[in-house]
Each structure stands twice: as C-alpha cells, then as structure tokens.
Structure 1
Amino acid sequence: MNKTSSKEAVNRRSFLRTGLVGGGAAAAGSMLAAPAVLAQAPMVLKMQTSWPASDIWQVMAQQYADRVEQMSGGRLKIDLLPAGAVVAAFQVIDAVNDGVLDASHSVCAYWYGKNKAASLFGTGPVFGGSPTTMLSWFYAGGGEEFFRELLQDKMGMNVVGLLGFPMPAQPLGWFKKPITGAGDLKGLKYRTVGLAADVMQRMGLSVAQLPGGEIVPAMERGVIDAFEFNNPSSDMRFGAQDVAKYYYLGSYHQASEAFEFLFNKDVLDDMDDDLRAILRHSVEAVSTANTAFALDNYSSDLQKLQNDNGVNVERTPQDILAAQIDAWDQLIPELEADELMKRILDSQRAWVERVTYYELLNAPDYALAYQHYFPGKVEL
C-alpha cells in the first residue's frame, strides 16, 4: 500500500473479495477453479510498529498479528514491519491516515507534537490510578469516545484507534551517577516523550524526544546525559547497561501507558463485520498475552542487568516523586485551557476517584506478604 492511496487500496481489496467471486460465477460453465481459489485469498494488512526489529515490543506486536490470523482462519493476515521499514517511528500515524500503511503499533505519546491531548491516553497525570485503572477508563469510562473525538473530529484524521496492554509504570531511567533527590536532576539532558517532557522540563531538565533506537547512540555522543525508555527488557536490548550503571524504577512521569493500535478507517469500513471484530477483539486478547509475556521477561531481564551487567537498581527517591507531582500540578491548569483536554482530564479524575477508592480499599498489603516470604529482598 505504500504507493497507493487508501481509497485505491480499499478498491483493490474489494475486488479481491467480491470481484473475483463474481468472475467465478460468470465462468462457472468453463470448469475453471482458479477464480474460486483466488476469491479466498487472504486480505493482507500492512502494519508498521515504532520499534526496532530487535526490541521485545516487536515480538509483542507479532503476538497480535498471530492472533488475528488464527482467529480469522487465515482470511486476514498482518504483514508486520519494524520502525523505518516504510516510515520513521514517529510518523506511523500520518502513514496510516494517508493509506501508506493500513495499521500501526505504537504509543500515543509519539505524536504528542501534533496535539498534546494525545499524551493523556497513556502518559498524562496519574491521579493515583494504575495502568489497569486507566486502560479500564478507556474502555468503560468514556476514553475510547474521547480518543475518537480527538483523532477524527478535532484532528480530521481518517483513523480508528484502540489501546491495549496496561504497561507497568516506567522507570525514571538510566543515569551515569547516583541520584539522591530532585536537585541532582537539574541541568541534565534527558530523553523522554509526550507530556513527560513538559513535566521533566519543569523540574529543571533539558529534554530531548527521541525514538527508542536513537537513545543509546545519543548517550554515547553526549547528546543526552540520562534517559528512560520503558522497561528492563527493551532497555537491555538497546544496550542501556553499556552507557549507564544506575537504574531507577518507579516514577510518575509515565505511569499509565498502553500500546496504541491505529487502523485506516477506510480499510476498516470496507471489511466484513467479523474480520473487523477480530481486529478489535484481538487487541483485547493480546493485552493479556502481552502482560504475561512482559512480566516474565521484564523481571528476568532486571535480574540479568543486576547480576550479569553490574547495574545498580534502586527505587526512585521520594523527593523526586513529590517534585513530579508538583510539576504535574503546575502543568494541569495550562492543559485545561484547551476545552477537549479539560473534558478528558475531568473524566479521568472522576474515574480514578471512584475506581481507585475501591481498588485501594480492596487491595491487601502485597508488600507485607512478599517481605514475609522473601525477607530482605526489597526495601520499600
């Protein structure tokens, strides 16, 4: 599809699904089986991610593609490509809108430069809700309709978006020397994305927004002094342990993100109802698979970083967490000057206030039980 418009691509797929069937009927008396065979050829969607081929997230995107093919009985296939195969990592939304790609696998913060409201769907203020709380807001609290309004009504984009996989909160990141408080961050050149960039700038850092594949080379050249990406597995595959040895976990800058699945709307509209449903419900299915896969790999790779690579793993100091909340408090009123962003933030606050009230009251003290059975492993 990279050389055709989305409408041309739709017409081509329509021909494959319906035109050849008609051709087969017209030629029924000719005893030719080829048209009937061709009519059953799978619809192939070109999906590009924002991840290098070597990143664990490319594997997690492939888990989605595999489920789509299996659920559709082979009628629908996804040609999954890594970042840069067709467009750059930050450009997938434009490529899906233009019909250069049929779909993308990315995160909303990567197009925050187009509209800051994008960052509210994963890298906005936490308000106390977990990643699962915020993904639940998307599907049960009105978030999906807000996302449609942002993409289609406000930005005029020909795309449909879904979210999946409630990511564990992102680490504060990688540093070349120990960090003891917010004062140690001032003046550092730091990589992050989305509204997290605004938050960290208010804390005195100089922020560069880079795709994952450019982070370690930027550290090596001195373009940045510190960085975060997302998780121990991706960070280890990037080679983070080769350029920094202090890794701080637990942060409020990006604490409730999820994968973003974008689809060209014309492609979806032209599709049979059951195939369209498979694309949607495969997002839900792979969210569970991604979670299990991530917890397995992230935890084992964290131990490898500590035991095999000499990385010092610490919790982010409370002083920095408090400074992040203060920075969010300064930023939120500015965001709310935008009418849509205010409605989104009001909806998120109301959801978190009600849902997290239940979650906090209902949750037992997991740390107490962990420390009982594995004493001395963690200091909280």
Structure 2
Amino acid sequence: MEQDVKPGRRGLLAGAAAATGAVVLATPQVSRAQTVALRFQSTWPQRDIFHEFAQDYVSRVNAMAGGRLRLDLLAAGAVVGAFQLQDAVSAGTLDGGHGVAAYWFGKNKAFSLFGTTPPWFGDAHQLLGWFYYGGGEALYRELVNDTLRVNTVGFLTGPMPTQPLGWFKNPIERADQVRGLKYRTVGLAADLMAEMGAAVVSLPGGEIVPALERGVIDGAEFNNPSSDRVLGFPDVAKNYMIQSYHQPVECFEVLFNKPKYDALPAELQATLRHGAEAASADMSWKLQDRYSRDLLAMAQTQGVNVRPTPRPVLDAQLAAWDRVITRLEADNSSPVNGPLFKKICDSQRDWCRRIGNFFLRYEVSPVVSYNHFFART
C-alpha cells in the first residue's frame, strides 16, 4: 500500500526555487545596460531630403533599441565638413555618420566602387545585392580596415536611381561640349568626366548652387529632383539633363567608430545593421513619391527644361569608362591602387554578368506595358 506523503514547507520552497530557476534559465540573455548615446552626423544640409533619409535611419534604430541606444543626428558642418566625416568617425570625434563612400575617393579610388560604380550594375539594388551576397562586404572591409587602417565599421544602404547629367545654362547636345566645361561631380565620375575633357571640381552638396550661380562652375550634378529642387538649382539654371552613365548607380554608407561599435552588445550591433536594411527599403519606397512629384513641379511651375542626355553623349561616356577602368586597374604604383581596384572590379563584373543576364532575360519590359496603359491618355 502506497503511503500518502505530503511535502513539508521546506519541500514546497525547494520546489518553487527549482521552478523559478528553470524560468530564469529559459529567459533570453539580454543585456540591461544604460542608454548609450552616439553623436551621428550626416554629410547633407539639413533641408536636403538626404538628411531626411539619415533621420529615417536614426528613427528606426532609436525605436528598435528600446531606449538602450540613441543616435543623435547632426547636419553637415555641425562638427566637421561633409568631406571630413570619415576621418572624424575613425578618430572618434564623431561616433557615426551618414554619407556616401565616393566622398572618400581622394584616399583611394576604390572607395567609389562602393558608391559611384562603373555602369555594369543594372541598378543600385544589384549593387546592394553584390555587397551583401556577392562578396562585396568582405572586400569593403579589406579596403577600409585591412589596407587603409580606417577605424570604422560601415554598411551600405539606400539604393539611388540613375543620377542626372546635371544642370547647365545651355543644354548638352554633343560630347564635344563637355571639353573644357567646369563641372562638379564626385568619385569615379570625376575621372570619367575628366577623361571626356571636363575641368572637374568636387564640392559638397551645400556649396554647388552658389558656385554655379557665381560662374565658378559651368555645370553640375548632385543627385535627384528633390535634392536639386530644395538646394535651389532651378533658380540658377534651367536645363536639366537627365539620364547619364556617369553615376547610374549609387547608395548611401552608414559609418560607426569601430571601438564604439565593437563595445556594444551583440543585439545593439544587430540593431544598427538591420536598421540600415529597414531604412534602405523605406527609402526606396519614399523616393518614388517625392522624386516624381518634384520633377513634375520643376517642369510645370519653375520653367525647367527637362530633357534626356543624347545618345552620342551616352556612347562617349561608355567609351570613356573603358579607358578609365583599364588605366586604374593597371595602376601598380602601390598595393592599395591597381591590384585591389581590379580585385573589386573583377568581383563586380562576375556578379553583374550573372545577375544582369538573369534580369534582362527574365523581366518583361515595363516600357511596353507603360505605353499600353498610359501613352494614349
């Protein structure tokens, strides 16, 4: 016969403690540190939509961090100038920032391959695909951390549409009109336009319109209808040449000081990384609305003559790209020049050959369907 044994008080407490212990062990180990505040500067004027995109990234990170991490956004020039951002983040003067890799082109031209690449990518989504799934991120770290010893961690984000050839007092109708033109651009596009005979000047966004107005430059590109409109381009030039191979693909770069980033718990590092992915998607949706509205507004209310870059100019750009790429890949003056530049280009070409072949064969033409539904209305 079984004996009915009732547990004593000590037995109940022991059982409760064991159960509680099991619950504690099953709870995810999430750190409970105090709020970490990071100073995060953009390379954009506060009124530019690019600064708004930087704010969108910051807002997502702050919301997902649940009060344990806060990015405090500053506009270009608040601490350092736009072209000094990478140095400031590497030195710890700033904790992070939002810009484009092409701005560090003066340190090594390979930086532009993570921003304003040659036109072998079909669009900037393919560039981001290469970075995250085609080996690009490892090559980026090799350039930034291993070769140049820059003390930053970076993520690419925010696919940009094709950039316009730019703003001019007189329209560009022939390739020979580029020769001798004082023209603003950045990154590898500077080498490209110089190859075509332009006198290239690289300026940050906030300085372009004043230079164009004073005649310091004859023509300039920045990026998109929304930025160009708010920066005041329609007030100083009326010919807006769209479609170009000088910068058909670009994306943003989010930077953090490496010691500061490495000191964060893993879940906050993930928040910074995945916040870039979330902001990238949101930006690709937002720009559809804003860019299209601003292009129409400039044409309809500000007297801007919007016209496509003529085919002979585009062909001349592609021929110039061939010469620029060949020259830069053959530059053996140091290990950080031609060899690494070619290594990155080879990786991109392999990706683009396969991915471009897929999309060009697989996707139905949007031109045909657009014309069917809208060309008659």
Same fold (TM over 0.5): yes
The aligned amino acid for 1:361 is R
Q: Give the superposition deviation at 1:160.
A: 0.9
Q: Point out the structure with max Rg over C-alpha.
A: 2
* Secondary structure of the structure 1 residue equivalent to 2:116: coil
Find out whether 1:178 has 2:171 as its counterpart: yes
Which of the numbers 149, 154, 157 marks the counterpart of 1:156? 149
The aligned amino acid for 1:74 is G
| TM-score calculated relative to the size of structure 2 | 0.88
Q: Deviations over 1:212-262 (max 9, x none)?
A: 000010011111010000000000011000111111111111111100011
Alignment of 1:200-239 (within 5 A): 200-239=193-232
Q: Which residue in the other structure is 1:51 paired with?
A: 44
Find out whether 1:118 has 2:99 as its counterpart: no
Q: Give the superposition deviation at 1:363.
A: 1.2
Q: Partners of 1:299 and 1:57 in 2: how far apart?
A: 16
Following TM superposition, the consecutive aligned residue runs of length 4 or more in structure 1 with deviations greater than 6 angstroms are none
Is the 2:49–2:227 contact (alpha carbons within 8 Å) kept by the matching residues of 1?
yes
Which of the numbers 318, 326, 349 marks the counterpart of 2:311? 318
* Secondary structure of the structure 2 residue equivalent to 1:90: helix
Q: Which residue in the other structure is 1:373 paired with?
A: 373
Find out whether 1:344 has 2:337 as its counterpart: no
Which of the numbers 116, 120, 126 marks the counterpart of 1:133? 126
Q: Which residue in the other structure is 1:66 paired with?
A: 59
Q: Partners of 2:376 and 2:110 in 1: how far apart?
A: 42
The aligned amino acid for 1:352 is C
Q: Give the superposition deviation at 1:132.
A: 1.0
- Which ranges in structure 2 are unaligned for 5 or more consecutive residues? 1-31, 331-337
Q: Partners of 1:294 and 1:91 in 2: how far apart?
A: 27
* Secondary structure of the structure 1 residue equivalent to 2:150: coil
Q: Deviations over 1:1-24 (max 9, x none)?
A: xxxxxxxxxxxxxxxxxxxxxxxx
Q: Partners of 1:240 and 1:159 in 2: how far apart?
A: 34
Q: Which residue in the other structure is 1:354 paired with?
A: 354
* Secondary structure of the structure 2 residue equivalent to 1:100: coil
Check 1:376–1:242 CA distance in 2 against 1; reply closer, same or farther (3 A cut).
farther
* Secondary structure of the structure 1 residue equivalent to 2:183: strand
The percentage of counterpart residues that share the same residue type is: 53
| TM-score calculated relative to the size of structure 1 | 0.88
The aligned amino acid for 1:130 is D
Alignment of 1:194-205 (within 5 A): 194-205=187-198
The aligned amino acid for 1:64 is Y
Check 1:40–1:152 CA distance in 2 against 1; reply closer, same or farther (3 A cut).
closer
* Secondary structure of the structure 2 residue equivalent to 1:101: coil
Q: Partners of 2:151 and 2:227 in 1: how far apart?
A: 31
Q: Partners of 1:151 and 1:376 in 2: how far apart?
A: 52
The aligned amino acid for 2:353 is E
* Secondary structure of the structure 1 residue equivalent to 2:318: helix
The aligned amino acid for 1:194 is G
Q: Partners of 2:33 and 2:257 in 1: how far apart?
A: 23
* Secondary structure of the structure 1 residue equivalent to 2:223: coil
Q: Give the superposition deviation at 1:40.
A: 5.6
- Which ranges in structure 1 are unaligned for 5 or more consecutive residues? 1-38
* Secondary structure of the structure 1 residue equivalent to 2:93: coil
* Secondary structure of the structure 2 residue equivalent to 1:163: strand
The aligned amino acid for 1:235 is D
The aligned amino acid for 1:314 is R
Q: Give the superposition deviation at 1:129.
A: 2.5
The aligned amino acid for 2:304 is V
RMSD of aligned Cα (Å): 1.1
Q: Partners of 2:341 and 2:172 in 1: how far apart?
A: 33
